[in-house]
Amino acid sequence: MIRFDNITYQYENALSPALADVSLEIQDGEFIAIVGHNGSGKSTLAKHINGLLLPSKGSVTVNGMDTKVEDNLLKIRQIVGMAFQNPDNQLVTTIVEEDVAFGPENLGVTPSEIRQRVDEALHAVGMTDYAEFAVHHLSGGQKQRIAIAGILALKPQVLVLDEASAMLDPSGRAELLSTVKQLHDQGMTVLMVTQYMDETVDCDRIVVMKGGKIVLTGTPSEVFQHTDILLQSNLVPPEAVAVRDSLKAMGYPLSDRALNAEQLSEELCPLL
Ligand SMILES: Nc1ncnc2c1ncn2[C@@H]1O[C@H](COP(=O)(O)OP(=O)(O)O)[C@@H](O)[C@H]1O
Ligand SMILES: [Mg+2]
């Protein structure tokens, strides 16, 4: 669905490229987490997906359409929806349902179709009861879910979240993550940039970036076996994985599949 072929990206005035010869293929329906320390190139990579940035070298294609071909950009941007860190910058009106309707209205969608899309989008993010609320009365997590509803109302096939949970409190983060997982369960392709390793344990694949390169990629259980590479990339594995590894070092026969507290306790309890 999305292909990065040997892309390099150089910001003007920067000494070294922000992305250096990155290749990555994302399948339809996949849930990918992109992790990496500040400045490793995650946002630069995300911005290439819908042509906000164009590669200095190499190519990015979405459903076979090259982002460098200007005629493709409108179509690509209908396929790929992007959510960013600060929900306040993404909400444009004062009432929840008006905000969700804003995008489709600008596309000239008919009023009855807009009504249906708004209802569906609010339902998808679990915010139906808030349709007539004032946006400024919502919590950060709720605002971010409304921002995502606004994207869903445009009917994208791919959702890109660039540290969308970074400004949220733990409960807001949990709400957002469960919304994203549900969307993925319903078939949405999701690419989630996050600083929080514990948010990545249920995704299909983790991509670890460092210094503009992909240094590791695999399923969560594969990636979390490489604590050395993670630590070299300034990333701390989820707490449950650290505890698991300490217990393994003490001789407990635990599998690499235990990635969160629940899975770990399921394996550990029979041993105790
Ligand atoms: N607009 C910009 N101009 C120059 N350099 C930039 C710009 N944006 C990011 N960079 C640099 O590109 C590299 C990658 O940044 P970024 O993609 O934002 O990383 P991340 O999202 O992983 O924190 C960093 O070295 C950063 O300083
Ligand atoms: Mg970033």
**Using one digit for the tens of pLDDT, what is the confidence trace for 139-174?**
999 999 999 999 999 999 999 999 998 888 888 889
* Cα–Cα dist 10/19, whole Å: 7
Determine, yes or no, domain membership for 231.
Answer: no
Six-digit token string for 228:
């050395």
- Pocket test of ligand 1: the residue of 37, 38, 44 to mutate, having most ligand atoms within 8 Å of its CB, is 44
Burial status of residue 192 (CB atoms within 10 A of its CB: 0-12, 13-18, 19 or more): buried
pLDDT at 229 over 90: yes
Determine, yes or no, domain membership for 242.
Answer: no
* Cα–Cα dist 249/255, whole Å: 12
Atom of ligand 1 nearest to the CA of 162: 21
CA of 168 to the centre of ligand 2 (A): 16
* Nearest CA-CA partner of 209 in 8, 7, 37, 26: 37
Q: Measured from the CB, is residue 42 less than 6 Å from ligand 1?
A: yes
Burial status of residue 3 (CB atoms within 10 A of its CB: 0-12, 13-18, 19 or more): middle
Domain that residue 111 falls in: 2-220
Nearest alpha carbon, ligand 1 atom 18: 43
Tell me, what DSSP letter sits at residue 134?
A: B
The pLDDT of residue 107 is 86
Q: Measured from the CB, is residue 36 less than 6 Å from ligand 1?
A: yes
Atom of ligand 1 nearest to the CA of 44: 17
Q: Measured from the CB, is residue 210 less than 6 Å from ligand 1?
A: no
In the chain, DSSP assigns E strands to 2-9, 19-26, 31-36, 57-62, 65-66, 80-83, 158-162, 189-193, 205-210, 213-218
- Pocket test of ligand 1: the residue of 9, 12, 22, 40 to mutate, having most ligand atoms within 8 Å of its CB, is 40
The pLDDT of residue 166 is 87
Classify each residue of 83-107 as buried b or exposed e, where b means 16 or more C-beta atoms within 10 Å of its C-beta.
bbbebeebbeeeebbbbbbbbbeee
* Nearest CA-CA partner of 158 in 191, 200, 185, 125: 191
Give phi and psi for 124, each to the nearest 5: -60, -30
The CATH number given to whatever domain includes residue 104 is 3.40.50.300
pLDDT (tens digit per residue) in 73-132: 999 999 999 999 888 888 989 999 999 999 999 988 999 999 999 999 999 889 999 999
CA of 212 to the centre of ligand 1 (A): 9
* Cα–Cα dist 257/248, whole Å: 13
Determine, yes or no, domain membership for 132.
Answer: yes
In Å, the largest CA–CA distance within the chain is 64
Nearest alpha carbon, ligand 1 atom 4: 11
Determine, yes or no, domain membership for 40.
Answer: yes
Tell me, what DSSP letter sits at residue 127?
A: -
Determine, yes or no, domain membership for 256.
Answer: no
Six-digit token string for 237:
């594995």
Domain count across the chain: 1
Determine, yes or no, domain membership for 265.
Answer: no
Q: Measured from the CB, is residue 87 less than 6 Å from ligand 1?
A: no
> What is the separation, in whole angstroms, between the first and last Cα of the chain?
46
Q: Residue 136: pLDDT band by 50, 70, 90 thresholds?
A: very high
Q: Measured from the CB, is residue 40 less than 6 Å from ligand 1?
A: yes
Percent of the chain beyond pLDDT 70?
Answer: 100
Q: What is the mean pLDDT of the chain?
A: 94
Mean pLDDT of 211-237: 94
Q: Measured from the CB, is residue 15 less than 6 Å from ligand 1?
A: no
